[in-house]
Amino acid sequence: MRVLAMLHAYPPGHNAGAEWAAHSLLRELADRGHDVDVLLSQPAAADEAYRIDGVCVHPHQGKADPSRWMRGDQRADVLVTHLENTARASILGDLHRIPVVHLLHNTYEKSKSWLVKGRPSLTVYNTAWMKADAEEWWRIHRGDRPMPPGITVHPPVAVEDYQATPGDHVTLINLTAEKGADLFYALAERMPRRKFLGVIGGYGQQIVRDDLSNVEIVPHTPGDRMAKDVYARTRVLLAPSVYESYGRVAVEAMCSGIPVVAHPTPGLMESLGEAGIFADRSDVDAWEAAVRRLFSPQVYPTASRAASARAAVLDPAAELELWATAMEEVARRGITR
């Protein structure tokens, strides 16, 4: 099977959760012997072609980039896409009679509308709650038509890729307002004796302050260095996001037994389960109390064991098998409409 993924950016240059989720899925196909290429649409995403975990990544050169995979010996059997490339990939797939698979990372109206306009051969939802949301949206807006087939595959996180011995910092990854940067700094002000670690994110307007002596800011960090450079320094991870469809970094942290304090978004509640420690992002007092409790030697071991156990429950093997089998079936079946 030859797979072409049309994406805007890719690891290790771009390390947001959606990109690492896509890479985890594509890497699985490459591991199974399939030919997997990624075509980038952002000119600044890469200067030259490279390989990562068996996946061939091609830089943006011009509008004609996809043509080599549309016909001839290199014709793709399946197109995979997400986010801003969904429209173009869907149009090209329809034009050249190549099935298209949508990776959905959010519940935004724009994303769901392409379930109708793009007519994907398969939709891959990153959470059960998001699949249910799309099904309800479809029932209201398109109840007279059958919904495109879909599966749920949580962003694959292998425990061994993110294991580290926890450190002593309170950490926030991606310092945007939406991810909770203001709360992060408020907690640092309230707990001047605790060390805080802020990691520059892969997208969004970063809020960087240099007026707090107990706060260290580190650069945007590739996924394959997160265990060593971030989680090995982290005792508690903060996830006060206003919106998370899943919350990949929270799961990564739990692989090291790092407890997570989170705002109760549907995605974080699904990913963290009973191991999560939840507080509303507007209640700074509750967040301070939760963090202080986790520095207690009586509380931390239990919370750490719960985090490790949850990460083990989320082992991706079964869902990766589901993904690979579904992709092979899409390629075998081709366009059926």
How would CATH label the architecture of 2-156+316-333? 3-Layer(aba) Sandwich (3.40)
The predicted structure's pLDDT at residue 336: 64
Q: How far apart are CA 59 and CA 50, in angstroms?
A: 9
- Is the peptide bond preceding residue 155 cis, with omega within 30 degrees of 0? no
Which H or E run includes 261?
Answer: strand 260-262
| Residue 314, phi-psi category: left (phi > 0), alpha (psi -120 to 50), beta (remainder) | alpha
Virtual torsion, Cα 136, 142, 147, 148, nearest 10 deg = -110
pLDDT at 251: 97
- Tell me the C-alpha distance between 325 and 43, whole Å: 33
Give the chain's mean pLDDT.
95
Terminal alpha carbon distance of the chain: 21
pLDDT reported for residue 145: 85
pLDDT at 337: 59
Ranges of residues in the chain with a pLDDT under 50 are none
pLDDT at 144: 79
Q: Are 224 and 160 within 8 A, CB to CB? A: no
The per-residue pLDDT for 167 is: 97
Residues 6+ apart with CB under 8 A from 207: 175, 176, 177, 181, 182, 185
All CATH 3.40.50.2000 domain ranges of the chain, comma separated, are 2-156+316-333, 159-313
Q: Model-level pTM? A: 0.91
Reported CATH class of domain 159-313: alpha beta
pLDDT for 141: 84
The CA-based diameter of the chain, rounded to the nearest angstrom, is 65
